[in-house]
Structure 1
Amino acid sequence: MKRGLRRTAAVVAGALLVGSALPAAAATDYAAGNWWFEDTGVREAQATATGEGVTIAVIDSSVNTEAHTLVGANIRPGGVDSCPDGTPVPVISDDPGSRHGTGVSAVIVGNGQPVGGNPGIQGVAPGAEVLVYSLGTDEVDSGESWLTTPCPDDPSGYLATVVQDAVANGADMLVFTSLQIFDTVSATALLQAIKAGVIVVAGNPNDSAMADPVSPNAPGVEQFNGVVSVENFGPEGERDDPVVGPWLSIVAPGDKFLSYEPGEDLSWSEPVILGASNSLATPFVAGVLALVMEAYPEATPNQVLQSLVHTASHAQPDPVHTDEEGWGRIDVPRLMATDPSQFPDENPLIREDGIPTPAMYDEGVFSDEFGPYPLEPVTPDDGASDDPEGAPTPAPMGDGVPILLVVLLVLAAIVVIGVVVLIIVLATRRR
């Protein structure tokens, strides 16, 4: 799966699933497209955990929850369905433009049911909850596909709103499979989410030529310090044009996956075997981390990341990082057999020379030449807040008398008037 770039002020969209299918054979072995489930230890891991109790925010295209692979999955829209200026953004949709988010979600929570006589897609963490946030629709362009930018007038504000809403609605993890640039308010929102213990998993571009150097003022999400930055490998361990760099965290299955496309009849039942794709390796990693989080509920998110690093292929026995493979290839059986609580409660992916800097994490704000960007807290959809300091306060009225006090005074006056009227009536009757 090739992925290209279209830059805006704060968002980079990546090429997606469509146009990346391998050439059709006379008799395609679609079952072989589930090698990532059968050959990596995921099936065995699901005897221990399914991701139940873990909430994953998929920040991608809209998602078709009625697609065969997702029927019955625990998926719901996040609390953001419009741009800061009010322009609607589709979140749950059966439009063909939902194909990328639908395919990504299937890797996490696919139901495993056959589709039109072909094999189903069993998600890595079918018990997890998926929150959907949309970065626009999947548009085919010259044999590749792209996510459009949903809010070109304020992409950073939109990303900040999405991140804060996901955190407020209980997301344990944020998944980005298209290339997003974070700056100013959006960078602060993402930094604060990571600092609060939310795991962020992001895919690199599929074309190594598109891996730009880290920007000190606007890093890409896959290069953002503290993020699980993902690259892919295929069923034989092969890698197709890999991105290399100091930000790379882990290499995971992401090539020759079975997926289902809408097809010309929009039945969402057309099977394809996809080429090398970080958009598939990324949800695979997120799903495995969800299994670990359920299996070891006492472990902190940082300890789960420590375990990912300490059990990857380069940990023999101590973790070693390289620009070519990060901390190595994910080892599902070893990861599931390791209790994360033995490791330090520190994010091992925050590098001293990374952007945002460790000092920015200490301060809780991302700063560039324009200065800091503190953000207001966001409460969940139901208005409830676990933070009393973040709860809304009564609006003042007039010279500062709270509305509630005014209401109580009016009610008291009504009661007094009623009593007076009753006394007068009784006195009149006695006459």
Structure 2
Amino acid sequence: MAAARKSRGTRVRHLGLAGRTGTVLLAAGIGVLSPASVALPAWAQQSSVAPDAGGYYATPPLVDPTKKPNDEGKPDKTYEQKTLCVQRSKLGGDQVDIKSRPWGQEYLQIQKVHELMTGATGSIGGGVKVAVIDTGVTAHPYFKNPVESGGDYVATPNGGKAPGLEDCDGHGTEVAGIIAANPPDKSIGFRGVAPDATIMSIRQSSQNYEEAEKKPEPPPPPPSNSAPPGSSNNPPGSQLPPSSQGNGAVGGAADGTGPVQDKGGRQQEQGKTAGTLKTLAQAVVRAVDRGAQVINMSVDNCRRADGKITLGEQQLQAAVNYAVNQNVVVVAAAGNVGDNCPQNDQPDPRAPRMIVTPPWFADDVLSVAAIDDTGGVAEFSVNGPWVSVAAPGTKIISLDPAEGSSSLANLTIEGGKDPGPIQGTSFAAPYVAGLAALVRAKFPGLQAREVMNRIKATAQHPAAPGGRDNFVGFGVVDPIAALTAIVPSEADKAKAVPLPSNLPPSNDRDSAPMIVALAGTGGGLVALLVTLFVVHSVRRNRPTTAPGRKTP
């Protein structure tokens, strides 16, 4: 936490004094008197934020609208559950409630953001619907608004639940929690970015469900001396293989759960698990047609950049283009490094060796990289010319996704291994999706592309040409700036709103450098005025003729 604050606190802009002292003093004075209306630097005032990075595979081909799939609203294959769903698992000893506030919330000043939104609009993202296309979302009691059923492309939910409201993997519930969780206990530090927003859940993928195998022909009847029925080694009524294991995590009042997080993140079309680019595209279309204003996709597909665009990629490209043109903001995880997705660390950054979709379609998608608690890029975050912005993606605290749980989780257990932290670009994306919901609530006149541009233009830009790089894109998002800054390209639509009188200071930085700069500027101005006065006096009193000569 201290490291993260220090990293942000040392970003001090230095004022030049030579040649423009009066102008600088006036500008600085305006900035001090009206902090909510400080104009952005020139590099952040671009209406279109970056030229094409170049490289044959860095830029996808043009969108083919005819590839937009028809929404069939059902799985494309028959999938069966092969692994136990997330379970509340006792790890030994009594667990305690997770009261601490996640470092990511502190880094992004989420508490101040909530105070700002409450003062300016009376709610924190109220009236905005965010579609979470993921592994489903459990109806956790910490959601202020009921989770809406959006659809299911995996299987018919167990227990008579509505489509999309079963989360066997646990991943989607944690993603949704970062967007809109609102624990009623004020002593709990964790909060969603937009706790008054409504979540619509569409289950599109699962690593616990796999494509059903064709049933073999029934065996011939057993001989008369065979063992009697019921003597199998498998327990009666068992539905899953004996080797199947549940997953759990530390957290919650007494125990907790965690999501399945295989190395590499939530990959599409990997083996026989549920989730294809075709159904992902259909889910995007479905979310748009059902009234979503923001879409979060913490799922992706990673492949080598050694072939033409595939049909599934074309369908997804057409779907996200349809979404943006229908005024829906699309947010996607940038992807995690894994066995099937090595890092893009090739010599030419403009020609990546791996392509990640949907981030590849950067014209229509906000793709989100992950940073760690030092403020640096997380080692697992995939680099690429399509990265838009970055957000916290490590040491995550979110909702416990186990059925019937009313607590939080901060660690995950997989395959009987030791507990490990919840992390990934999957959990950086919902920070940005939540911010997009807040921008939509505060500036309802902005279109989807303008919301995306505002989030990029107000990010903490890296020291790179054009204010972006392949690691964090246009930088770590800055929610306070995104909700208050003046962006010239939309000045007629997003008027600056004065901050409430009870709002804490906008940051915790030391004011000494600014005081020194202003003092120096004032001193320089005084010295300049004195010099001009002396020079003017000398010139006025200088004799106009030489001594002893008469004027003609």
Taking structure 1 as the reference length, the TM-score comes to 0.62
Q: How does 1:211-222 map to 2 (within 5 A)?
A: 220-222=357-359
Say if 2:359 is the partner of 1:197.
no
2:286 to 154, 162, 165: 165
2:410 maps to which of 272, 293, 308: 272
Post-superposition offset of 1:212: 7.5
Which residue pairs with 1:250 in the alignment? Answer: 389
Stretches of structure 2 lacking an aligned partner (at least 5 in a row): 1-75, 78-85, 118-123, 209-243, 248-259, 303-311, 345-350, 412-420, 493-552
Q: Name the CA distance, whole Å, in 1 between partners of 2:487 and 2:170.
A: 35
Equivalent position of 1:300 in the other structure: 447
TM-superposed deviation, 1:60: 0.4
Q: CA deviation at 1:289?
A: 1.4
> Are residues 260 and 239 of structure 1, via their aligned partners in 2, closer, same or farther at CA, if it must alter by over 3 Å?
same
Instruction: Please state how far the C-alpha of 1:325 moved relative to its aligned partner.
Output: 1.7
Which is worse superposed, 331-340 or 205-214? 205-214
What do the CA deviations read for 1:32-52 (whole angstroms, capped 9, x no partner)? 452322342221122233112
How far does the alpha carbon of each residue in 1:170-212 deviate from its partner, in whole angstroms, 9 at most, with x for none? 1112111011474243432222222333211110222266158
Residue from 324, 328, 334 that aligns with 2:475: 328
String of CA shifts for 1:319-365, please: whole Å, max 9, x gaps.
Answer: 512112211111122111124573499xxxxxxxxxxxxxxxxxxxx
Offset of residue 164 of structure 1: 1.6
- Aligned-residue Cα RMSD (Å) equals 4.2
1:128 aligns with 2:197: yes
Verify the 8 A CA contact 2:324 2:449 in the aligned structure 1.
no
Q: Which ranges of 4 or more aligned residues in structure 1 deviate by more than 4 Å?
A: 23-29, 140-144, 146-154, 211-216, 315-319
Match for residue 224 of structure 1? 361
Output the amino acid matched with 1:40.
L
* Cα shift at 1:101: 0.9
Gaps spanning 5+ residues in structure 1: where? 1-7, 10-17, 346-431
In structure 1, what residue type is equivalent to 2:323? A
* Contact 2:138–2:401 (CA under 8 A) maintained in structure 1: no
User: Is 1:56 paired with 2:194?
Assistant: no
Note closer, same or farther for the CA distance 1:39–1:25 as it changes in structure 2 (3 Å cut): farther
Q: Percent identity?
A: 24
SS of residue in 2 equivalent to 1:286? helix
- Structure 1 residues 261 and 75: alpha-carbon distance in aligned structure 2, compared to 1, 3 A threshold: closer
Q: 8 Å contact 1:254–1:279 — kept in the other structure?
A: yes
Partner of 2:217: none
Is 2:142 the counterpart of 1:69? Answer: yes
Whole-Å Cα distance in 2 between the matches of residues 299 and 340 of structure 1? 12
How far residue 105 of structure 1 moved from its aligned partner, in angstroms, is: 0.7
Report SS of the residue matched to 1:312.
coil
Q: For 1:197 and 1:219, how far apart are their aligned partners in 2?
A: 24
Q: For 2:92 and 2:488, how far apart are their aligned partners in 1?
A: 47
8 A Cα contact 1:306 1:343, kept in partner = no
Q: Report the alpha carbon displacement of residue 108 of structure 1 after superposing the two structures with TM.
A: 0.8
User: Which residue identity is paired with 2:335?
Assistant: P
User: Matched residues in 2 for 1:253 and 1:42: separation?
Assistant: 12
SS of the residue aligned with 1:145?
coil
User: Which residue of 2 is the match for residue 412 of structure 1?
Assistant: none
Letter in structure 1 aligned against 2:468: H
Q: 1:145 and 2:261 equivalent?
A: yes
Matched letter for residue 246 of structure 1: P
Change (3 A) 1:202 1:28: same
What SS is found at the alignment partner of 1:281?
A: helix
Secondary structure of 2:152's match?
coil
Q: Return closer, same or farther for 1:134/1:224 CA change in 2, 3 Å cut-off.
A: same
What residue identity is the alignment partner of 1:61? T
Aligned AA (1:200): V
| Matched-pair contact (CA < 8 Å) for 1:321–1:327 | yes
1:6-85 paired onto structure 2 within 5 Å: 30-49=98-117, 50-65=124-139, 67-70=140-143, 72-78=144-150, 80-82=151-153
Between structure 1 and structure 2, the one with the greater Rg is 2
Query: 1 or 2 for the larger relative contact order (CA 8 Å, sep ≥6)?
Result: 2
* Aligned length, in residue pairs: 318
